[in-house]
Structure 1
């Protein structure tokens, strides 16, 4: 009974917040009266409040530009976690554009949707990301290419770093900074999560979204850590595979440290 009440109150809170903030975001995008990310950051924080998430940050996003944040990926909630603390736009798989609510709200954040299976489209999308980087928009890349279980890091896909190489190749920028970011779900109701309990926060690709949202709303009280590492400079002579491997190692090290010693 308590769980159902919590879900109802949380959904009502999200619905009211969204109805108020979406028109404000559209107004910002059309008129530029105020920063678009101001409304988005408020909305992300409201979603996290409804879920009962507490975010702990170590380090900071670098001031260097152009900037690509390369992060691990555990759940759809990673977007809210990062969006609540830094002004960024996301690179997401094309399927997400059609998701109820989340897809529409992602478009309000000027998300770039990529179709990895269609080679002809991937070049256009990489070019769009390159243009955004050249305009100093901070883009977030979930470099594993899929969600993991929150315990282990999947190999980073070097092909996803192609936008950085394209931005340099087109001559619009001389280099791109790639900053490693680790998102780690560490505690449930104040107690350290074990390997099995960490799956409560994780949303694997083959799971239905609605039941997972319901479980999170019913559970509540999850702590998540965001750790920012030292940026890697990507220039004309940089190997994509070498850069992907180095960033992967740094993300993995931060992730394991957070798992061993959660805040």
Structure 2
């Protein structure tokens, strides 16, 4: 038997793991119950499947009509899973190129952002093989990145730049891996090169869930376990904050632009619980950290 392949050293990693990170700190939060969880899970998956079936029919519609349908459908998916959404800030007007960048906690981030700022998503190639979600991502024009092959990164950046140059909007989670929401990662600069190359604006977004545990999709967590945890949460609130946009013209390189976006998102961070769960897991090796979650 061959030894397991070590993760690529350049891949972003997080110390978040399913055990401590998906547990709500402090007093126990009662679950919604198995019966309600089954109903929510069935409703949520039905809403996703409906999107897969209707996506080809929406293709001929004008851009404004498609974006409206995407917003309504994403809100329906979130509502079906029992997620309550709060939006603060004013979304950027339609019609101009925009690189939307957000912190990354869960697969829920995708419909949450799309409900407010729909655009073409940048995701890891493994998402394409997910049941229901994968076909829908492909139909929605997701740009897939192979994180195990560094040499493909310039082609991904070029594809992102082409979308922006055509006046489109691309949504990126530049931490490159999910974090549990009680800590955050460094914004990787690669995608910001596409904004520089096209003179596009950057729209930072801050995502928070309360409680943070049920939404977190980290480490070796499975999609099925995450779906059930969300469906059985008694109450799950999601807040998306639209922050002040950043002009790429005011930054000389992608690293400077990435730092500015990360700083803007970090300033809006919710108060972290004390003690942080990462004080208990920080000694875990990188191989045990979050390397399987969407980028």
Asked if these proteins are the same fold (TM beyond 0.5), I'd say yes
Give the equivalent residue in structure 2 for 1:231: 245
- Displacement of 1:200 in angstroms is 2.1
TM-score (normalised: structure 1): 0.83
Q: Is the 8 A contact 1:40 1:83 kept in 2?
A: yes
Matched, 1:113 2:144: yes
In 2, the alpha carbon distance for the partners of 1:226 and 1:149 equals 16
- Displacement of 1:43 in angstroms is 2.3
Are the structure 2 counterparts of residues 220 and 179 from structure 1 closer, same or farther at C-alpha, using a change threshold of 3 Å? Answer: same
- Displacement of 1:85 in angstroms is 2.2
Please, which runs of 5 or more residues in structure 1 have no aligned partner?
187-192
Aligned residue among 231, 249, 256 for 1:217: 231
Please, which runs of 5 or more residues in structure 2 have no aligned partner?
1-30, 274-295
Deviates more, 1:5-14 or 1:134-143: 5-14
Q: How does 1:106-255 map to 2 (within 5 A)?
A: 106-165=137-196, 168=197, 173=198, 175-186=199-210, 193=211, 198-235=212-249, 238-255=252-269
Please give the per-residue CA displacement for 1:114-170, whole angstroms capped at 9, x wherever unaligned: 1133234222221111111112221111011110110112111112323223xx2xx
Q: How does 1:4-83 map to 2 (within 5 A)?
A: 4-29=34-59, 31-32=60-61, 35-63=65-93, 65-83=96-114
In 2, the alpha carbon distance for the partners of 1:69 and 1:258 equals 24
Secondary structure of 2:190's aligned partner: helix
Provide the aligned length of Structure 1 versus Structure 2: 242
* RMSD of aligned alpha carbons: 2.5
In 2, the alpha carbon distance for the partners of 1:164 and 1:246 equals 13
The structure with the greater share of residues assigned to helix is 1
- Displacement of 1:257 in angstroms is 6.4
Are the structure 2 counterparts of residues 56 and 112 from structure 1 closer, same or farther at C-alpha, using a change threshold of 3 Å? Answer: same
- Displacement of 1:219 in angstroms is 1.2
Matched, 1:90 2:114: no
TM-score (normalised: structure 2): 0.75
- Displacement of 1:70 in angstroms is 1.0
The structure with the greater share of residues assigned to strand is 1
Higher relative contact order, chain-length normalized (CA < 8 Å, sep 6+): 2
Are the structure 2 counterparts of residues 240 and 2 from structure 1 closer, same or farther at C-alpha, using a change threshold of 3 Å? Answer: closer
In 1, the alpha carbon distance for the partners of 2:82 and 2:98 equals 30
Q: Is the 8 A contact 1:148 1:154 kept in 2?
A: yes
In 1, the alpha carbon distance for the partners of 2:248 and 2:80 equals 38
Give the equivalent residue in structure 1 for 2:8: none
In 2, the alpha carbon distance for the partners of 1:161 and 1:205 equals 26
- Displacement of 1:8 in angstroms is 2.4
Q: Is the 8 A contact 1:51 1:221 kept in 2?
A: no
Give the equivalent residue in structure 2 for 1:190: none
In 2, the alpha carbon distance for the partners of 1:228 and 1:17 equals 26
